[in-house]
Homo-oligomer: A and B are copies of this chain.
Amino acid sequence: MAGRKKRAGHEGSEDAESTSHAAVQLTHDDIMQASARVDPELRRRSELLWEDRSTPTRGPKRGVTPEDAVQAAIEIAQENGLGAVTMQAVSAKIGFTTMAIYRYFPNKEALTDAIVDAGMGSPPLPAEPRAHWRAEVTAWAHAKRAMMCARPWMAELPFVAAPHGPNWLRWLEAITDPFSKTGLSAADIGQMISIVEGYTRGASDTAVSLARARTRGVSEAEWAAAVGADLGRAIGDSRFPKFAALISAPSDGKARSMEESFAFGLQCVLDGIEMYIKSNIHASVEPI
C-alpha cells in the first residue's frame, strides 16, 4: 500500500485513491479497511506475513536470512512435529541463542504464520494447454493433498489459524482460475472453492493420521481396520448399531487405497458441482 518502502506500514494516509470509488467494485483499500474493523489482530498478523523482509542497510550483517529461520523451523516441525518448534529450538538450529530469533520474528505467532505459508509452497503450474475446469480442479485437489501429506505438522494447526500469505493466495488463485471458466458467479465460485478445500483438507488430515501410524510400522490394511483407533469402541455398544456395522463390515474385494478413496470422494464432490454448473449455464449471471 501507499508508503511501503521496506518493512511495512499499512495504515493511514492512503485514503485518497480509495474514497473516490462508488463502493460497488471493491478495491484493495476498501477491503483492508473493512478487515481492520473486522479483526485487527488478524490484520496485524497478515501484515507481518506480507512485510518486506529485506535486511536494512545499517548495522551488522545478519547471520542468516529470515528464510533460513523459517526453513529451520520447518525442518524441526518435519522431524518432531509442531510441538517441537519452540523459539529456543529454532534459534539453536540456526546457531544462535534463544533471543536472536526475535530479531527475525516479533513473536512465535508470526513465526508460525510464516512457516505455514512457506511450507505450503507454490501450487504446481497448470498444464498447457488448459484443460477442462474439472481436470484442473482435480489436479489441484490432488496436489494440495500431496502437499498436506508431505507436511503432516500442518494438520496440527487449527483449520482457520493462519492468515493468508502469498503462497496461500497462489493456491487460491490456482483453483479460482479453472472455476472462473465455468460461467459461475463470483459468489458461487467462492462456494465451490470452499467445498473443494474443505473436502481436501478433511481427507488430507485423515491421510496424515495414517501416515503417522505408518511410521510406527503398521500396514495400511491394519490402519484401515482400526479406523482411527478409538472408533472401534462402537462395536458391541448397543447405542451405535449402524456405525458398529459400518466399521466392522467385511471389506468387499474391491477395497480402496487411501489415494483411491480420495479420488473417489472428489469425483462425488465434483459431480455435485458439475451438476450445478450445468443447471446454471443459462442463468445469465455475469461471469467474472
- Residues of A at the B interface (CB closer than 8 Å) are 10, 24-28, 30-32, 34-35, 37-39, 42-43, 45-46, 49-50, 155-161, 163-164, 166, 169-170, 172-173, 176-177, 180, 185-187, 189-192, 194-195, 197-199, 201-203, 205-206, 208-209, 212-213, 216-218, 222-223, 225-237, 239-243, 245-252, 255-256, 261, 264-265, 267-273, 275-276, 285-286, 288
Contacts and interface: CB of A to CB of B under 8 A. Distances in A.
Contact of A173 (B205, B236, B242): B242
A244 to B, nearest CB: 8
A235 B28 contact: yes
Nearest to A229: B35
A184 to B, nearest CB: 10
A170 B24 CA distance: 46
Contacts of A256: 187
Of A31, A161, A227, A288, most B-chain CB atoms within 10 Å? A31
A168 B189 CA distance: 32
Given A173-B239, A199-B199, A46 B285 contact: no
Interface of A is mostly: helix
Given A26-B247, A27-B248, A169-B231, A226 B160 contact: no
Contacts of A24: 250
Contact of A194 (B222, B233, B265): B265
A226 B271 contact: no
Contact of A159 (B202, B213, B231): B202
Given A10-B233, A246-B190, A288-B249, A172 B27 contact: no
